[in-house]
């Protein structure tokens, strides 16, 4: 048999070239473009999750693709608040709870606290009590509402109804707890900690708890220093040292939190449903299309699209043919979702958002991810350079202005302290830790009727633009609380740095408040029977979750 030598050489060259190209392509993402070194190349090499694709959607959340919208755009201002002047804002992509946080979800939180921090232990007695919703918000001097006071939070009939009686501080703490529980679950699933560890810790069988911040900064302190005893499948073969997940592992999710006002309003109005290419077709007054609160679809024509108060003494319509199917709150998902897939963004309960309230949105200072309420902190460091973590027998409590005691920091959490002047020195983007009254209420932006008026009784604090009452609480020698109301007659407003925005209408509100651009406020330590909340989560990575499909032709 004759062999064509030239053809054989050519085939060998081509085969080798193709093989080389294949290997080069497969190794490309695992080779550093900075040094040429291999990434994830055994013990001692730089470790990084080069297979990461995108952030997974955490439990309960819906993806909200960010974009530009006109914040504060309302069609009516019958209250003459003048607090929603239209401003053009851009919101980054994020995630938001599909529904409001329900009684069942909150009861899981309370159950965990009660098991991990037994109220019978003197050191922990206020951990559980401080998280309890105020069920007495249902009471009315001239109303027979004790059935809700006694049953609404815990009875299975209300399991999937939105939780109420939760103040802003409690909503924030629920979000932080939820972050830790979800990240703890994902670490189990990925083999960083042993299966069932979260249940063992929740049962109180370990001397500490899991905290996301502690795990990332000082993992050896997690579970009260017992983390090595609950190693997962990823432990090293040559010894018993645990392999800890890091941010570079791509497993740890950003924290659950309250949405900002801009995020909430953007998600509620859902103008994405009226988008045509990069234009908006028409205006939207409510989270749904149309100018009315009733459905125009043939299958549900005339049905109300939200749970709200139709008129004086009319919370649910005539018996036998209810206008909205509810007299108080309604079970979540009782009404159609908006174009983002979010339920009850109008009606049912109003919702806490993260922002400190001010009558204006300062778009001249910022028009990207707008948020008022930043208090910048840093991790406390011990003298030996280690991260400060609360011991298993330490709890930091805080007393709210209404006398309610809440756990500010739980055992095993990283201690945070405000940034110092040195940290902010010569920074162009911020100069202090507390930025809640930046450009709106501090000395440099306040207007006085007579700035140079001399009166010892009239201080800068009493002449500031936002001069709200300052109630105080003192404790006598026997440990009894003494509530001191602010009786000053020089107070000019109820707006202060502890007053938070809440958005959306509720079962107690008329249709006027269903407009997502409407805004109201309440002190962060107060709770009502018509305000609940839902959580959000920042998105890391790309703006869009799906590739664009360009039209043909």
State pTM to two decimals. Answer: 0.90
- Domain shared by 486 and 509, yes or no: no
Whether residue 227 lies inside any domain: the answer is no
* pLDDT given for residue 351 in this prediction: 98
Are 175 and 260 in the same domain?
A: yes
489 in a structural domain = yes
Count of domains for the chain: 2
Using CA atoms, how far apart are residues 101 and 171, in angstroms rounded to an integer? 9
User: Exposed, middle or buried by CB within 10 Å (0-12, 13-18, 19+), for 439?
Assistant: middle
Residue 289 lies in a domain: yes
* Strands in 386-435 per DSSP E: 396-399, 405-409, 416-418
Q: What is the pLDDT at residue 517?
A: 93
Q: Radius of gyration (Cα) for the chain, nearest Å?
A: 28
User: Does any domain span residue 225?
Assistant: no
Provide the pLDDT for residue 71: 94
Q: What pLDDT shows up at residue 47?
A: 84
CA separation for the pair 440, 107 (Å, rounded) = 39
User: Would you state the pLDDT for residue 281?
Assistant: 61
Let me know whether 471 and 531 are in one domain. Answer: no
> In terms of domains, do 345 and 446 share one?
no
Q: How many CB atoms lie within 10 A of CB 422?
A: 6
What does the H/E/C string look like for 108-144?
HHHHHHHHHCCCCCHHHHHHHHHHCCCHHHHCCCCCC
Are 153 and 285 within one domain?
yes
Domain presence at residue 423: no
Q: How confident is the model at residue 64, as a pLDDT?
A: 96
Both structure tokens of 406: 């809440």
Q: What's the number of CA atoms in the CB half-sphere (13 Å) around residue 347?
A: 33
Residues 342, 450 share a domain: no
> Are 528 and 165 in contact, with CB atoms under 8 Å apart?
yes
CA dihedral angle for residue 336, residue 340, residue 342, residue 343, rounded to 10 degrees: -20
**What is the per-residue pLDDT for 238?**
47
The pLDDT score that the predictor gives to residue 549 is: 65
pLDDT attached to residue 97: 98
Burial class (CB in 10 A: 0-12, 13-18, 19+), 423: middle
Which residue segment(s) compose the domain that 448 sits in? 437-496
Per-residue pLDDT of the chain (553 residues; tens, 9 = 90+): 555 666 655 555 555 554 444 555 556 778 999 999 999 887 778 888 888 989 999 999 999 999 999 999 887 788 888 898 999 999 999 999 999 999 999 999 999 999 999 999 989 999 999 999 999 999 999 999 999 999 999 999 999 999 999 999 999 999 999 999 999 999 999 999 999 989 988 887 777 899 999 999 999 899 988 888 888 887 765 455 568 999 999 999 999 999 999 999 999 999 876 665 666 666 778 888 877 788 777 767 777 878 999 889 989 888 887 778 899 999 999 999 999 999 999 999 999 999 999 998 988 889 999 999 999 999 999 999 889 999 888 899 998 988 899 999 999 999 999 999 999 999 999 999 999 988 886 555 555 544 444 444 445 554 567 778 888 888 777 777 788 888 888 788 889 899 999 999 999 999 999 999 999 999 999 999 999 999 999 999 999 987 766 656 5
What's the confidence (pLDDT) of residue 16? 52
What CATH code is carried by the domain that includes residue 270?
Answer: 3.90.1580.10
Note whether residue 395 is domain-resident: no
Final residue of a domain: which of 496, 524, 547? 496
């Amino acid at each position: 048999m004759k062999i064509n030598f030239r053809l054989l050489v050519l085939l060998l060259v081509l085969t080798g070239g193709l093989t080389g190209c294949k290997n080069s392509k497969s190794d490309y993402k695992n080779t550093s473009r900075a040094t040429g070194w291999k990434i994830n190349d055994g013990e001692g090499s730089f470790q990084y999750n080069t297979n990461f694709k995108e952030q997974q959607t955490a439990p309960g959340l819906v993806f909200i693709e960010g974009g530009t919208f006109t914040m504060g755009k309302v069609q009516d201002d019958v209250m003459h608040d003048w607090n929603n002047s239209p401003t053009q804002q851009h919101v980054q992509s994020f995630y938001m709870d599909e529904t409001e946080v329900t009684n069942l979800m909150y009861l899981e939180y309370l159950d965990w606290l009660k098991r991990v921090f037994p109220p019978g232990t003197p050191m922990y007695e206020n951990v559980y009590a401080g998280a309890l919703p105020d069920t007495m918000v249902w009471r009315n001097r001239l109303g027979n509402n004790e059935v809700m006071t006694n049953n609404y939070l815990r009875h299975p009939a209300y399991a999937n109804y939105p939780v109420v009686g939760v103040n802003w501080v409690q909503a924030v703490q629920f979000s932080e707890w939820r972050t830790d529980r979800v990240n703890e679950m994902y670490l189990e699933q990925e083999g960083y900690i042993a299966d069932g560890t979260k249940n063992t810790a929740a049962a109180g069988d370990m001397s500490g708890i899991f905290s996301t911040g502690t795990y990332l900064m000082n993992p050896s302190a997690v579970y009260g220093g017992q983390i090595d005893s609950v190693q997962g499948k990823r432990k090293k073969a040559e010894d018993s040292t645990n392999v800890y997940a890091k941010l570079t592992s791509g497993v740890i999710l950003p924290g659950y939190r309250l949405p900002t006002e801009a995020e909430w309003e953007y998600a509620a109005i859902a103008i994405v449903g009226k988008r045509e290419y990069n234009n908006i077709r028409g205006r939207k007054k409510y989270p749904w299309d149309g100018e009315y609160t009733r459905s125009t679809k043939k299958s549900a024509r005339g049905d109300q699209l939200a749970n709200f108060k139709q008129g004086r003494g009319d919370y649910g319509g005539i018996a036998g043919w209810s206008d909205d199917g509810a007299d108080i709150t309604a079970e979540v998902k009782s009404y159609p979702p908006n174009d983002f897939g979010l339920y009850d963004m109008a009606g049912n309960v109003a919702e806490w958002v993260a922002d400190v309230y001010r009558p204006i949105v300062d778009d001249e200072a910022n028009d990207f991810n707008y948020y008022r309420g930043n208090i910048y902190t840093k991790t406390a460091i011990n003298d030996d350079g280690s991260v400060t973590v609360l011991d298993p027998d330490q709890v930091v409590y805080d007393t709210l202005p209404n006398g309610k005691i809440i756990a500010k920091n739980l055992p095993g959490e990283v201690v945070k302290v405000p940034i110092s002047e040195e940290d902010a020195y010569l920074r162009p983007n911020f100069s202090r830790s507390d930025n809640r009254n930046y450009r709106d209420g501090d000395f440099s932006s306040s207007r006085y009727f007579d700035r140079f008026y001399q009166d010892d009784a009239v201080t800068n604090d009493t002449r500031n633009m936002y001069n709200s009452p300052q109630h105080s609480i003192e404790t006598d020698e026997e440990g009894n609380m003494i509530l001191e109301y602010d009786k000053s007659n020089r107070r000019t407003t109820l707006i202060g740095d502890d007053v938070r925005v809440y958005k959306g209408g509720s079962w107690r509100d008329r249709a006027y408040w269903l407009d997502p651009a409407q805004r109201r406020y309440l002190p962060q330590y107060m709770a009502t029977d018509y305000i609940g909340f839902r959580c959000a989560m920042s998105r890391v990575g790309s703006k869009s979750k799906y590739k664009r499909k360009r039209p043909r032709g």
